[in-house]
């Protein structure tokens, strides 16, 4: 839990409403990559995390329930 507590506040806020059970370690790795790509723009980094999560949810839904399931298409990111 202390590792989670040491995460950046923006990332902890994103994780609090994430659809998937991200580990603190993998979320931090993705966050750092997204933040670098966004040149330090936290809002853009959160949007990148939203897109990554939407892709994973769509992939999992297609595998579990089939490609015709509504969640099998990539959803719009959270705002």
User: Domain map of the chain by residue range?
Assistant: 2-72
Mean pLDDT of 6-24: 96
**Residue 56 to residue 74: CA distance in whole angstroms:** 9
Q: How many CB atoms lie within 10 A of CB 10?
A: 15
- Can you tell me the distance from the alpha carbon of 74 to that of 2, in angstroms, rounded to the nearest whole number? 33
Mean pLDDT of the region 6-16: 96
**Tokens 């298409």 — which residue?**
73
pLDDT band at 34 (very low <50, low <70, confident <90, very high): very high
């Amino acid at each position: 839990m202390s590792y989670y507590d040491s995460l950046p506040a923006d990332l902890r806020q994103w994780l609090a409403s994430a659809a998937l059970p991200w580990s603190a370690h993998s979320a931090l790795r993705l966050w750092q990559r997204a933040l670098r790509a966004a040149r330090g723009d936290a809002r853009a980094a959160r949007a990148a995390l939203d897109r990554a999560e939407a892709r994973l949810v769509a992939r999992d839904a297609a595998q579990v329930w089939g490609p015709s399931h509504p969640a099998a298409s990539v959803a719009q990111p959270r705002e």
